[in-house]
């Protein structure tokens, strides 16, 4: 066999082996190209306090509820004491505060906007689904965090986010309302 023929055969063998090796990288049912990709919707801020997946969920009553995971990395307990919100053009939006400050134990995650958050922080108007707002979170002993967060439409995915309604007393089952009893007695 001549040397040029051996070189051609060697090059062809190398090319076939390379194609087979690279083609095998994406084979199988668990290949990355077969995985569902679900990007995070909310905005993130990393620092002495991490504010993750920050977004506002629009409510039926034209309000929007803040939803965020907050991790306190400061070394001491903090509270989320207040929130201010504005449009991207710096027009302030009214915010109804939570019933009590959100407690942030050190090195632990807390969730703003959950059903257990006493209603959470709610923008009372002007936060429209599909737009972004600028939100500043103020903490007891840490610096403020400002982040641009999306406003999303309420879908079943956000059922765990407070609906934004102010807490109202619920009637006790079986209690009679004045004037609701019949005339018999």
The domain limits of the chain are 43-155
pLDDT value for 17: 82
Give every residue of the chain whose pLDDT is below 50, as ranges.
167-185
Please state which CATH class domain 43-155 belongs to: mainly beta
pLDDT value for 123: 94
42 phi/psi in degrees, rounded to 5: -75, 170
Cα dihedral: 69, 52, 124, 97 (round 10): 50
Q: How many C-beta atoms lie closer than 10 Å to residue 56's C-beta? A: 31
Q: Collect all residues with Cβ–Cβ distance below 8 Å to 21 and sequence separation of at least 6.
A: none
- What secondary structure does DSSP assign to 69-102, as a single string? EEEE-SSS-EEEEEEEEEETT--EE-EEPPSSPE
Assessment of whether the complete model's pTM goes beyond 0.85: no
pLDDT value for 119: 58
């Amino acid at each position: 066999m001549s040397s040029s023929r051996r070189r051609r055969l060697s090059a062809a063998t190398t090319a076939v082996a390379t194609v087979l090796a690279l083609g095998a990288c994406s084979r199988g049912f668990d290949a990355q190209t077969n995985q569902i990709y679900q990007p995070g919707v909310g905005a993130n801020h990393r620092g002495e306090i991490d504010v993750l997946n920050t977004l506002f969920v629009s409510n039926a009553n034209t309000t929007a509820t803040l939803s965020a995971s907050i991790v306190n990395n400061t070394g001491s307990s903090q509270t989320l004491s207040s929130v201010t919100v504005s449009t991207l053009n710096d027009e302030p939006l009214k915010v109804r505060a939570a019933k009590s400050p959100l407690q942030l134990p050190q090195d632990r995650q807390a969730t703003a906007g959950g059903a257990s958050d006493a209603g959470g922080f709610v923008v009372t108007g002007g936060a429209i689904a599909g737009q972004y707002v600028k939100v500043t979170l103020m903490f007891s002993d840490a610096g403020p965090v400002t982040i641009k967060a999306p406003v999303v439409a309420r879908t079943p995915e956000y059922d765990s986010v407070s609906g934004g309604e102010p807490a109202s007393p619920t009637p006790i089952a079986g209690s009679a309302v004045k004037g609701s009893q019949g005339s018999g007695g």
